[in-house]
Amino acid sequence: MSPEATSRARRVRASLSVAFVLVLAGLLFTANARLAQGEESRHPQDLAQLVDRESERNAELASQVDALDDEIARLSAPDPAAPGVDEDLERRAAVAAGTVAVSGPGVSVMLDDAPQDATYPASIRPDDLVVHQQDIQAVVNALWAGGAEAMTLQGQRVTATSAFRCAGNILLLHGRVYSPPYVVEAVGDPDRLQAALDRSERIDIYQQYVDAVNLGWGVEEHDQIEMPRYEGSLELDYARPAQVAS
């Protein structure tokens, strides 16, 4: 092969190599862009973003549940031709289950974390400065014991199947996330509800920290409290009969 032909062949191979590298780089760039887009759309980069996304999703699902509940209520409306039922018993059962909105006199209880910018003794731990799950549970239990007919926590109806969890100073309730202050409202006789709060030993302990580190606490009586119905499912997915010891 002549020197001129050899030089031309080398130039052709070099051009083909450059073209191949450019095409390969373009394919890799496109794949990475698609992968990055998919990661962004499915995997949040931090916990806060994940919580926000799941909260929005739960809100959408709650709206769908409301629509289905309305449809069920319409389809299960009593037949005028059917024998009569005890209307008072039916009403009390609906209130207890949380399937109907409730209004009436009652009390509201507020719990809040201690101020972050205050100076505390060295013996005070960070856990002493926040509201814990057992503090909220103590209020809820005391109000039920005081004859509460219906109750809400952060505006959401609380029923026998409700469960809430605290992680740090974040409250998880019915798939939604809340920060302090936490507000519990109860419909019932205000005097009986207040007396039940005063009798609670656990609330007594909380009150000691109210005095020591200024945890938030407040109780108000109301002539009228409006409560929404429970928005979640009333079915128990995991339950079994209790074992009775012989």
Tens-place pLDDT, residues 72-128: 777 766 666 656 556 666 666 666 666 788 899 999 999 999 998 888 888 888 888
Q: Where are the domains of the chain?
A: 1-43, 46-79, 102-227
pLDDT band at 136 (very low <50, low <70, confident <90, very high): very high
Instruction: Return phi, psi of residue 166, to 5°.
Output: -115, 135
Q: Domain 102-227 maps to which CATH number in 3.40.640.10, 3.30.70.1880, 3.90.1640.10, 3.30.420.10?
A: 3.30.70.1880
CA distances from 144 to 12, 43, 62, 222 (A): 87, 41, 26, 17
Q: Is the pLDDT of residue 222 over 80?
A: yes
Q: Is the pLDDT of residue 34 over 60?
A: no
Q: What angle is formed at CA 65 by the lines to CA 55 and CA 96, rounded to 5 degrees? A: 100
- Residues 39-70 pLDDT 10s: 444 444 566 666 677 778 778 887 887 787 77
